[in-house]
């Protein structure tokens, strides 16, 4: 029997976080021990509401506690949400039905500390937003860095950023938090733009998905239809062609199946200063990497990943 991996997801539910949550719930190889929410694509209240509603949509057969987290970066103001990519409510303006699910009465950072200590070396943290909640958790209990591992969507090594010429959104949104996490000693797998920039869900993939969804999943179908159509129009407006980058789902898929990517071990420095350079994930390629703080995904079998995504959602 296949090994089921326990994960704790931290999300800023936006469009691709929603796609990642649906994938994780449907996956037979992942068990979500809990979810934490953070500001980013939207404010934390909206991210939490979106997360609870997307859970309703995905219909997990087990209980998933959701803990609300930070609404601001550690030391700087929050940037405006990018409504062109995620819509006014983070879900491309789609109104999911009201939910009876509620967040638990525990902060995201406290929840992370508790669950990591309950599941020592038996939990993977999967962060698909800013690293603020983890930085706070590490400040409360630095020992968690030795008791768990982290797979994060964020950063850009050999490709340009998507927020500034050199910075990716999740790192740029709270560079001080990212700096603390990368310097904490926690084992990191970084799923950044080097690979997520190649994970393009096209109209062909969309038709395959839509054709496969059964009538029993009418709500899921309507949601997918809306958010992919919105995403295709958004990318088309940017003169990039019609596709949706599957940033956050790829991070979850890498937890499930590390063979989808090739990694290289680097010491990743997080730049926290400078209007253009803040949030950059820098590797000093002038010298051999004598030490590392992250396994960085540099190559991806993109089509295999996209097919796996579709098959998991349809399963
Ligand atoms: C990341 O930023 C957010 O907009 C997405 O949800 C993803 O996590 C991509 O840079
Ligand atoms: Ca995200």
Mind listing the pLDDT tens digit for each residue in 116-144?
999 999 999 999 999 999 999 999 999 99
Ligand 2 centroid distance, CA of 152 (Å)? 10
Q: pLDDT at position 289, please?
A: 86
State the closest ligand 1 atom to the C-alpha of 162, by its place in the atom list counted from 1.
10
Please tell me the distance from the alpha carbon of residue 141 to that of residue 143, in angstroms, as a whole number: 5
CB of 130 within 6 A of ligand 1: the answer is: no
From 23, 41, 83, give the residue whose CB has the most ligand 1 atoms within 8 Å, as the site to mutate. Answer: 41
Tell me the mean pLDDT in the region 154-179.
97
Probe ligand 1: pick from 16, 51, 200, 238, max atoms within 8 Å of CB?
16
Residue 1 pLDDT exceeds 60: no
Please tell me the predicted confidence (pLDDT) of residue 87.
81
pLDDT at 249: 98
Ligand 1 pocket: which of 248, 252, 297 to mutate (most atoms within 8 A of CB): 248
**Catalytic residue positions, numbered:** 12, 247
Q: What is the mean pLDDT of residues 10-39?
A: 97
Strand partners, 261: 300
Q: According to the model, what pLDDT value does residue 2 have?
A: 64
**φ/ψ of residue 130, rounded to 5:** -60, 155
State which ligand 1 atom lies nearest to the alpha carbon of 128: 8
Q: 288 alpha carbon to ligand 2 midpoint, in Å?
A: 32
Confidence at residue 137, expressed as pLDDT on a 0 to 100 scale: 98
The ligand 1 atom nearest the CA atom of 15 = 6
Residue 194 CB–ligand 1 contact under 6 Å: no
Residue 130 Cα to ligand 1 midpoint, Å, equals: 9
Spatial neighbors of 123 by CB under 8 A, at least 6 apart, are 6, 7, 8, 33, 115, 116, 148
Quote the percentage of the chain above a pLDDT of 90.
90
The predicted-structure confidence for 25-76, as pLDDT tens digits, reads as follows 999 999 999 999 999 999 999 999 999 999 999 999 999 999 999 999 999 9
Q: Which residue has the higher pLDDT, 288 or 253?
A: 253
Mean pLDDT of the chain: 95
For residues 52 and 101, the answer to whether their CB atoms sit within 8 Å is yes
| pLDDT tens readout for residues 230-272 | 999 999 888 778 999 999 999 999 999 999 999 999 999 999 9
């Amino acid at each position: 029997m296949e090994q089921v991996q326990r994960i704790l997801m931290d999300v800023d539910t936006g469009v691709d976080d929603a796609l990642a949550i649906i994938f994780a719930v449907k996956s037979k190889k992942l068990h979500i021990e809990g979810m934490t929410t953070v500001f980013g694509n939207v404010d934390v209240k909206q991210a939490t509401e979106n997360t609870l509603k997307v859970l309703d949509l995905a219909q997990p057969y087990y209980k998933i506690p959701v803990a609300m987290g930070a609404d601001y970066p550690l030391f700087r103001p929050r940037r405006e949400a990018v409504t062109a990519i995620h819509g006014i409510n983070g879900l491309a303006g789609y109104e999911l039905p009201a939910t009876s699910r509620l967040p638990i009465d525990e902060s995201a950072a406290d929840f992370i500390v508790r669950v990591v200590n309950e599941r020592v070396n038996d939990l993977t943290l999967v962060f698909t937003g800013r690293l603020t909640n983890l930085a706070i958790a590490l400040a409360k209990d630095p020992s968690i860095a030795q008791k768990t591992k982290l797979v994060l969507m964020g950063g850009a090594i050999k490709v340009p950023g998507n927020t500034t010429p050199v910075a990716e959104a999740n790192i740029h949104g709270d560079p001080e938090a990212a700096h603390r996490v990368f310097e904490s000693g926690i084992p990191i797998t970084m799923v950044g733009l080097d690979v997520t920039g190649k994970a393009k869900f096209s109209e062909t993939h969309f038709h395959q998905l839509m054709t496969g969804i059964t009538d029993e999943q009418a709500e899921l179908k309507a949601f997918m239809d809306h958010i992919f159509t919105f995403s295709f129009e958004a990318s088309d407006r940017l003169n990039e062609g019609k596709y949706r980058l599957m940033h956050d789902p790829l991070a979850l898929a890498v937890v499930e199946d590390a063979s989808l990517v090739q990694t290289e071990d680097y010491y990743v420095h997080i730049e926290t200063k400078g209007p253009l350079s803040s949030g950059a994930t820098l590797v000093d390629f002038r010298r051999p990497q004598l030490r590392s703080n992250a396994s960085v995904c540099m190559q991806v079998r993109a089509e295999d990943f996209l097919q796996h995504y579709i098959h998991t959602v349809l399963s």
